[in-house]
């Protein structure tokens, strides 16, 4: 029998910024839960980029209303017409 123990590697991240990129396309059902999960993290040096890639009007309005409730988070909101996803924003 072979027993393999997982190794946990701890990094010194005291000054490292974590960027979270969230593609959003009509994601009403998950965005609030996702932002709540980020909000309760113990690591605070976080930047959030949300890319709205041509969502329906009602979905866009919902997202923009939700973002008002998360003003304490460092969120950069990018709204564009449908250009094929998040890659078009990241690799311009």
Low-confidence ranges of the chain (pLDDT < 50): 1-6, 8
Q: Look at residue 35 and tell me if it is in a domain.
A: yes
pLDDT score, position 10? 54
- Judge whether 80 and 53 are in contact, CB under 8 Å: yes
Q: What is the pTM of this model?
A: 0.75
Q: Number of helices and strands (H, E) in the chain?
A: 3, 3
Q: Look at residue 75 and tell me if it is in a domain.
A: yes
Q: Tell me the residue range of the domain where 72 lies.
A: 19-90
Q: Look at residue 84 and tell me if it is in a domain.
A: yes
Strand order in 18-24's β-sheet?
18-24, 46-53, 75-80
Report the domain count for the chain: 1
pLDDT score, position 16? 83
Q: Look at residue 10 and tell me if it is in a domain.
A: no
pLDDT score, position 12? 62
- Judge whether 48 and 38 are in contact, CB under 8 Å: yes
| Percent of all residues in the chain with a pLDDT value above 90, rounded to a whole number | 42
- Enumerate the H helices of the chain as residue ranges: 28-39, 57-69, 87-90
pLDDT score, position 88? 55
Report the alpha-carbon distance of residue 47 to residue 78 in Å, rounded: 13
Contacts of 78 (CB under 8 A, 6+ apart): 49, 50, 51, 52, 89
Q: Look at residue 65 and tell me if it is in a domain.
A: yes
pLDDT score, position 2? 46
pLDDT score, position 1? 45
């Amino acid at each position: 029998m072979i027993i393999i123990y997982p190794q946990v590697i701890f990094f010194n991240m005291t000054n490292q910024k974590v960027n979270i990129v969230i593609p959003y396309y009509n994601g009403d059902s998950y965005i609030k839960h996702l932002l709540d999960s980020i909000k309760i993290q113990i690591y605070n040096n976080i930047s959030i980029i949300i890319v709205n890639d041509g969502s329906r009007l009602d979905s866009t309005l919902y997202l923009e209303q939700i973002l008002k409730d998360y003003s304490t988070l460092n969120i950069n909101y990018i709204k564009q017409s449908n250009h094929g996803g998040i890659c078009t924003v990241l690799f311009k």
